[in-house]
Amino acid sequence: MVVGARNSLQVEGAEWTLLADGDEVVPGVRVIDTSGHTPGHMSVVVDSGGAQMMAVGDALNHAYLNFAHPDWYNGFDMDGDRSVATRHHLLDMAVADRMTVLGYHFPFPGVGHVMREGGAYRFVPALWRWD
């Protein structure tokens, strides 16, 4: 995996621009710093007509545990304390701004909303429509 990523980054003729927290990629699409799982981890926020969706990548990787126990971290998180702070920030932001959340490791369809439940949270999956 690392070799493939390194080869892709070193491809001849490619020009790379490093992004920072809050940078807008194109109008309505920005990145936010969600480091902790890995250094430099970014999530993407898409804003369309005032509705927002946040693709959280590996910052939230379990649709039950990360929500019910946001203070827990695992061996996959390179910086546990930072992972916990990032997770709380993402969950608080999703609740406050009523954002749709897309989690790559969440059960199908992987999209839903976040509810606050006491000192924890709950992922509420979107209903899938077959039309």
Instruction: Give residue 7's pLDDT band: very low, low, confident or very high (50, 70, 90).
Output: low
* Beta carbons within 10 angstroms of residue 59's beta carbon: 26
In this prediction, residue 24 carries a pLDDT of 96
**Owning domain of residue 61:** 21-125
Question: What is the rounded CA–CA span in Å between residue 131 and residue 129?
Answer: 6
Per-residue pLDDT tens for 47-93? 999 999 999 999 999 999 999 999 998 888 899 999 999 999 999 99
- In this structure, of 14-18, 32-36, 100-104, 121-125, the range with the lowest mean pLDDT score is 14-18
Would residue 39 count as lying in a domain?
yes
- As given in the structure block, the two tokens for residue 41 are 């981890």
Would residue 10 count as lying in a domain?
no
* Sequence-ordered list of residues with C-beta below 8 angstroms from that of 123, at least 6 positions apart, any chain: 63, 64, 67, 101, 103, 106, 112, 113, 114
Would residue 3 count as lying in a domain?
no
Question: What is the rounded CA–CA span in Å between residue 21 and residue 31?
Answer: 6
Residue 2 pLDDT exceeds 60 = no
Instruction: Give residue 1's pLDDT band: very low, low, confident or very high (50, 70, 90).
Output: very low
Q: Which amino acid is at 52?
A: Q
User: How many domains does the chain fold into?
Assistant: 1
Would residue 58 count as lying in a domain?
yes
Would residue 6 count as lying in a domain?
no
- pLDDT average, residue stretch 9-17: 79
Instruction: Give residue 131's pLDDT band: very low, low, confident or very high (50, 70, 90).
Output: confident
Would residue 76 count as lying in a domain?
yes
Residue 4 pLDDT exceeds 60 = no
Closest alpha carbon to 44 in 115, 102, 3, 114: 102
In this prediction, residue 5 carries a pLDDT of 56
Would residue 62 count as lying in a domain?
yes
Would residue 46 count as lying in a domain?
yes
Question: What is the rounded CA–CA span in Å between residue 10 and residue 2?
Answer: 12
Which CATH number does the domain housing residue 118 bear? 3.60.15.10
